[in-house]
């Protein structure tokens, strides 16, 4: 039940970045209770440089007039991102049922953190530095295949062997990274 409405002044992501002279944004992590799509729509210019996005998405309407996963997905795909994976799935028991006195016993998935990556086919347009950044982000979020993919492109351009070192590390040679 809505108890109170408060009006606040907001600015778009693109405007905020411009007036604060923020350099290109590589990664966005956002969880703002159903208004994530509004931010993305106000950040069309910023999204051109973004390599990865971690955003909360909902599958079940929790807030009035909120966009759901499909809406966020459609917008980000049109902005040259691909859905990569869910980092978490969360929910609740449907009322009035509560199991073991635990209202968080989730049988109904209602929201998740979703990872979107810049479309891999467009990685050729990225600078070597951006490839390294995306490789690191992917490794941090448990996607070694994406890391290696980015590093292979980096190696191809720079004449290095970083991806081979990383693959050796992933295959058990814990001393491989940094040897070459």
Is residue 99 exposed (0-12), middle (13-18) or buried (19+ Cβ within 10 Å)? exposed
Both 105 and 135 in a single domain?
no
Both 18 and 102 in a single domain?
yes
157 touches 124 (CB < 8 A): no
> Residue-wise over 121-130: b if at least 16 C-beta within 10 A, else e?
eebeebeeeb
- 3-state class of 124 per DSSP? helix
Q: Which of 95, 118, 141 is the last residue of a domain?
A: 118
Both 72 and 89 in a single domain?
yes
Q: How many domains does the chain have?
A: 2
Both 109 and 129 in a single domain?
no
Both 131 and 103 in a single domain?
no
Residue 162 to residue 167: CA distance in whole angstroms: 9
> Tell me, what's the pLDDT at 63?
80
Domain residues for the domain of 67 are 7-118
Both 81 and 130 in a single domain?
no
> Tell me, what's the pLDDT at 3?
85
Neighbours of 48 (CB within 10 A): 12
Mean residue pLDDT of the chain comes to 86
- H or E element at residue 29: strand 27-30
pLDDT, tens only, 105-163? 767 788 899 999 987 667 777 788 899 999 999 989 989 889 899 999 999 999 998 88
């Amino acid at each position: 039940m809505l108890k109170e409405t408060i009006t606040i002044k907001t600015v778009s992501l693109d405007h905020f970045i411009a007036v604060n002279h923020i350099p290109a944004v590589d990664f966005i992590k956002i969880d703002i209770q159903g208004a994530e799509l509004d931010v993305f729509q106000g950040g069309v210019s910023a999204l051109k440089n973004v390599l990865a996005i971690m955003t909360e998405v909902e599958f079940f309407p929790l807030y009035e007039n909120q966009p759901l996963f499909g809406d966020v997905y459609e917008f980000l795909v049109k902005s040259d991102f691909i859905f990569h994976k869910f980092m978490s799935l969360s929910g609740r028991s449907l009322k009035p049922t509560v199991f073991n006195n635990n209202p968080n016993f989730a049988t109904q998935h209602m929201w998740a953190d979703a990872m979107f990556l810049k479309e891999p086919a467009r990685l050729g347009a990225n600078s070597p530095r951006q490839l390294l950044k995306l490789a690191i982000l992917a490794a941090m979020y448990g996607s070694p295949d994406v890391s290696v993919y980015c590093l292979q492109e980096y190696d191809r351009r720079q004449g290095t062997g970083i991806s081979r070192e990383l693959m050796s590390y992933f295959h058990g040679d814990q001393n491989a990274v940094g040897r070459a």
